[in-house]
Amino acid sequence: MNEHTLSRRLERVAAQVPAGARLADIGSDHGYLPVALVRRGVLTAAVAGEVAETPFRAAERSVRENGLERLIKVRLASGLAAIEPNDGITAISLCGMGGETIRDILDAGKARLTGLERLILQPNGGEQPLRQWLMDNGYRIFHEELLHENRFYYEIIVAERSTPVAYTPEQLYFGPLNLQARSPVFLAKWQRLLRLKQRTLAGFERALRGGPEDRLRALELQVGWISALLK
Ligand SMILES: C[S@@+](CC[C@H](N)C(=O)[O-])C[C@H]1O[C@@H](n2cnc3c(N)ncnc32)[C@H](O)[C@@H]1O
């Protein structure tokens, strides 16, 4: 993967970035996403934010080697602190991090959100707490996607601020649009997870008998939901 050829995962993320957007890619690593999208003429400007020095330098290098310093600002900052008011950001991508990390970044940076930005999120796990944050903060999920690449399942969640939405616990767990679409890759992911959770549950039940009740109950509830889903 590089700024010319994105991974299939980042290509699917890229497809959710509107033409003419001003994108803040937070946790940009090498900056491949903003560089590729500016090169393709999709973005009018971008910010690549990185909290760690080594990926920050790598993003600076990608931008410099492509001669895009005027259009892409690379900033060493944590989360949404990379965004400045006159950047005029219209889309924010947070990809390749845990869902809880993405949630914490959004929550800590709330003051920097105008509410007009499209959020393009690609969590690695922790989708449920992330969807919960979106619902609690007035975002509607209008696109969800799941893909299988290099033995991993990746979720993409795209949301925009809207009138309040109320998702059920199952919708927060599986994704409201994933649940509707029931794509083959979605069902395959949950078949795999059901097997893993059933195995954990059996181990728990054997070993515990009076152990951490909450985890056991949560696991039983999830196994129930997944079994109902796959019926
Ligand atoms: C696994 S990489 C993903 C890179 C790229 N977004 C992708 O999806 O391929 C995660 C990146 O997020 C950065 N990161 C983690 N927490 C961050 C934060 N609070 N603010 C900015 N960047 C962060 C890490 O330094 C790392 O470079």
Question: Per residue in 124-179, pLDDT tens?
Answer: 999 999 999 999 999 999 999 999 988 999 999 999 999 999 999 999 999 999 99
Q: How far is the CA of 18 from the centre of ligand 1 (A)?
A: 22
Number of domains in the chain: 2
Do 172 and 200 fall within a single domain? Answer: no
Could you tell me if the CB of 49 is within 6 A of ligand 1?
Answer: yes
Ligand 1 pocket test, pick from 3, 29, 149 with the greatest ligand atom count within 8 Å of Cβ, gives 29
Task: Note the pLDDT of residue 208.
Answer: 67
pLDDT at 186 over 80: yes
Residues 21 and 114 in one domain: yes
pLDDT tens track for 45-80:
999 999 999 999 999 999 999 999 999 999 999 999
Q: What is the mean pLDDT of residues 188-199?
A: 95
Q: Which of 96, 209, 114 lies closest to 150 in space, CA to CA?
A: 96
Using a 6 Å cutoff on CB, does residue 51 contact ligand 1? yes
Beta-bridge mates of residue 119: 92, 159
**Mean pLDDT throughout 25-44?**
98
Q: Name the packing angle between helices 213-230 and 184-207 (round to 10°).
A: 150
The DSSP H or E segment spanning 23 is strand 21-26
Give residue 209's pLDDT.
67
Residues 200 and 106 in one domain: no
Q: What is the pLDDT of residue 211?
A: 61
The pLDDT assigned to 228 comes to 93
Taking the model in full, what pTM does it have?
0.92
Residue 223 domain boundaries: 186-230
Q: How many CA atoms lie within 13 A of 76 on its CB side?
A: 8
> Does 15 share its domain with 54?
yes
Identify whether the C-beta of residue 160 lies closer than 8 Å to the C-beta of residue 118. Answer: yes
Determine the atom of ligand 1 nearest the C-alpha atom of 94: 6
Same domain assignment for residues 166 and 209 = no
How many other CB atoms are there within 10 angstroms of residue 129's CB atom? 17
Residue nearest to atom 3 of ligand 1 (CA): 96
Across the chain, what does the average pLDDT equal?
95
Does any domain span residue 2?
A: no
Distance between CA atoms of residues 46 and 36, nearest Å: 11
Q: How far is CA 196 from CA 84, 134, 188, 211, in A?
A: 44, 28, 13, 20
Both 175 and 225 in one domain: the answer is no
Distance (Å, whole) CA 158 – CA 171: 15
Does 175 reside within a domain? yes
pLDDT at 210 over 70: no
Taking 90 as the threshold, does the pLDDT of residue 225 lie above it? yes
Q: Worst-scoring range by mean pLDDT, 25-34, 177-186, 195-204, 221-230?
A: 195-204
**What pLDDT, on the 0 to 100 scale, is given for residue 120?**
98
CB of 27 closer than 6 A to ligand 1? yes
Tokens 């927060």 — which residue? 172
205 within domain boundaries: yes
Q: Does the C-beta of 36 come closer than 6 Å to ligand 1?
A: no
